[in-house]
Amino acid sequence: MGRNSHEKIFAFRGHGIFVPCGMLCPERGSGGLPEQLVSAHALFTLADDQRGIAMCMNNMGNVYMFMGEPSDAVALFDEAFSIYSAIGDTAGALQALANKAAALIREGRYEEAGAILEMAEKFAPGASGSCAPVLNNRGVLLTKLGKLGEAEKILKKALSCIDPDRLDHVATVNASLGHLMKKEGRNKDALAFFKKAYEADRQAECLTALADDLASMSECAISLGNYTDGIDWLKRSTKLYALTGKPIAANNALKKLVSLAREQNMDITVTRHFVSQWLKEGGRDYCN
């Protein structure tokens, strides 16, 4: 199998981090990992397909990121980087480094994340300067450090480097810009970026990322006084969280939705009923 085939099986996307799309709520296997990823890793190992093994290591790390376990993800990204480097796959190696940086950012280990991004820049000076994941996470790190002007320049450079066919990159960088604009109080601009992220995620069928996009769109709309769209987007986000195995996010969104609906005298009985039902069902899989 060539690189394109691998990427068709396992796309990944996240907001500021790169997270699996098609593996967000399938049946779980070894260590909580999706069965199809566990099986793919075994098959690539049997075929001694190093690129396939590296891809699996990278995506296993992404799954652990999605599960809220960035520390476990780091070791897998290291393994992916090692294999990609050995076989001369610069793009794969840079992606693994970018994802490791994202894991460190998630844990608040900003200095270490910065060192990994510098490592990426030294590893492939030319390629890293036009690598959307590396640039994106550099921008996310600068945003976390409060260097918003620098972050905006880097993220806009990342946006200009994106292959439009890479919907995961399109969505991620637009979402990162949305979060930056939101942090600056530029809610109208932020909303436009979140909408672009939403459209890319919808095309890529990244269900949990869609929930995040809608939640961010809702916050921007409400800040702009647009309660009609804001509540509608929050309803849709809440339902997606409930259906994709994110009960904490679903419950938090539902509490916010109940409060807003009460303030605006809006009826959310039907939404509340189905969200509660899906949350009670817990692990039932609607995604396959």
Q: Among 19-33, 71-85, 148-162, 231-245, which stretch is predicted with the lowest mean pLDDT?
A: 19-33
Q: Which residue has the higher pLDDT, 175 or 1?
A: 175
- The residue type of 151 is A
Q: Which residue has the higher pLDDT, 44 or 19?
A: 44
User: What is the overall mean pLDDT for the chain?
Assistant: 87
- Measured CA to CA, the distance from residue 56 to residue 237 in angstroms comes to 29
Query: Is the per-residue pLDDT at 5 higher than 70?
Result: no
Q: Give 114-146 pLDDT, tens digit per residue.
A: 999 999 988 888 787 778 999 999 999 999 999
Q: How many residues does the chain have?
A: 288
90 half-sphere exposure, CB direction, 13 A CA radius: 12
* 121-to-112, 124, 215 alpha-carbon distances in Å: 14, 6, 33
Query: Is the per-residue pLDDT at 262 higher than 60?
Result: yes
Phi, psi dihedrals of residue 280, rounded to the nearest 5° = -65, -35
**Looking at residues 268-276, what average pLDDT do you find?**
96
Q: Which of 16-20, 37-41, 99-103, 160-164 has the highest mean pLDDT?
A: 99-103
Q: Which of 57-71, 121-135, 165-179 has the highest mean pLDDT?
A: 165-179
Query: Is the per-residue pLDDT at 72 higher than 60?
Result: yes
The structural domains of the chain, with segments of one domain joined by +, span: 3-203, 226-288
Picking from 7, 15, 113, the residue whose alpha carbon sits closest to that of residue 66 is 15
pLDDT of residue 11: 37
If pLDDT is split at 50, 70 and 90, which confidence band does 6 have?
very low
The total of other beta-carbon atoms located within 10 Å of residue 203's CB is 11
Query: Is the per-residue pLDDT at 238 higher than 50?
Result: yes
Query: Is the per-residue pLDDT at 29 higher than 70?
Result: no
CATH domain 3-203 topology: 1.25.40
Query: Is the per-residue pLDDT at 20 higher than 60?
Result: no
Query: Is the per-residue pLDDT at 13 higher than 90?
Result: no
**Looking at residues 171-197, what average pLDDT do you find?**
98
If pLDDT is split at 50, 70 and 90, which confidence band does 269 have?
very high
Q: Which residues, in sequence order, are bridge partners of residue 28? A: 34
- Measured CA to CA, the distance from residue 61 to residue 78 in angstroms comes to 9
Query: Is the per-residue pLDDT at 2 higher than 50?
Result: no
* 167-to-46, 175, 269, 270 alpha-carbon distances in Å: 31, 12, 35, 33
Q: Which residue has the higher pLDDT, 32 or 206?
A: 206
Q: Give 198-216 pLDDT, tens digit per residue.
A: 999 999 998 889 999 999 9
pLDDT of residue 17: 39
pLDDT of residue 158: 95
pLDDT of residue 286: 55
pLDDT of residue 285: 53
Q: List the structure tokens of 220.
A: 């921007």
- Measured CA to CA, the distance from residue 9 to residue 44 in angstroms comes to 13
Q: Which H, E and C letters describe the chain, residue by residue? A: CCHHHHHHHCCECCCCCCCECCCCCCCECHHHCEHHHHHHHHHHHHCCCHHHHHHHHHHHHHHHHHCCCHHHHHHHHHHHHHHHHHCCCHHHHHHHHHHHHHHHHHCCCHHHHHHHHHHHHHHCHHHHCCCHHHHHHHHHHHHHCCCHHHHHHHHHHHHHHCCCCCHHHHHHHHHHHHHHHHHCCCHHHHHHHHHHHHHHHHHHCCHHHHHHHHHHHHHHHHHCCCHHHHHHHHHHHHHHHHHCCCHHHHHHHHHHHHHHHHHCCCCCHHHHHHHHHHHHHCCCCCCC
Phi, psi dihedrals of residue 12, rounded to the nearest 5° = -145, 150
- Report CA Rg, the chain: 19
Picking from 160, 125, 120, 161, the residue whose alpha carbon sits closest to that of residue 138 is 120
- The residue type of 260 is L
